[in-house]
């Protein structure tokens, strides 16, 4: 089974004035730490909301020119037995490169598209070979 795993990271950023600047720097900093080994990990802004009222908040909290930025790191994990296994692999792979950055698995989804595409390709190849066999048989 193949899974898509989304991990939340709390990335500290220093010497920033605005949340937008903090997010840009955090994405750049995270990309540098992950590349070139994990260049297949997608980096997105995290989504935060007020725990009391549910209002959407910026993914970065800035105080005294320092910021903590919520980022979502998304990657595919292949050939796993369970979603828990995929979760542990993603945390380990990402965590090895993002030292001292807290990580939390947000969700794990089974990728069914890849299996469906492979099955459809196999079925199409089978139909093509049957069609060729029919054509060869007609001409004999």
Tens-place pLDDT, residues 36-64: 888 899 999 988 888 888 888 888 999 99
Instruction: State residue 4's pLDDT score.
Output: 95
Please tell me which of 6-10, 109-113, 114-118 the model is most confident about, judged by mean pLDDT: 6-10
CATH of the domain at 87: 3.30.70
Has residue 17 been placed in a domain? yes
The number of folded domains in the chain is: 1
Q: Note the pLDDT tens digit of each residue in 95-112.
A: 999 989 999 999 999 888
Has residue 57 been placed in a domain? yes
Of 65, 71, 78, 72, the C-alpha closest to 11 is 71
Has residue 97 been placed in a domain? yes
Please tell me which of 33-42, 52-61, 67-76, 113-122 the model is most confident about, judged by mean pLDDT: 67-76
Has residue 38 been placed in a domain? yes
Percent of the chain with pLDDT over 70: 80
Instruction: State residue 119's pLDDT score.
Output: 55
125 pLDDT tier (thresholds 50, 70, 90): low
Structural domain span for residue 22: 3-110
Has residue 25 been placed in a domain? yes
Has residue 136 been placed in a domain? no
Has residue 84 been placed in a domain? yes
What's the mean pLDDT in 67-95? 94
Has residue 23 been placed in a domain? yes
């Amino acid at each position: 089974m193949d899974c898509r795993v989304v991990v939340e990271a709390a990335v500290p950023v220093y010497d920033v004035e605005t949340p937008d600047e903090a997010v840009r720097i955090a994405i750049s900093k995270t990309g540098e730490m992950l590349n070139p080994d994990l260049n297949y990990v997608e980096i997105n802004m995290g989504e935060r909301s007020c725990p009391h009222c549910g209002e959407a908040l910026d993914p970065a909290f800035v105080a005294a020119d320092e910021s903590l930025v919520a980022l979502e790191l998304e990657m595919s994990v292949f050939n796993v037995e369970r979603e828990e296994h995929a979760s542990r692999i993603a945390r380990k792979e990402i965590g090895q490169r993002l030292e001292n950055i807290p990580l939390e698995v947000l969700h794990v989804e089974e990728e069914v598209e890849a299996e469906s595409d492979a099955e459809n390709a196999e079925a199409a190849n089978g139909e093509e070979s049957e069609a060729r066999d029919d054509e060869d048989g007609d001409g004999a």
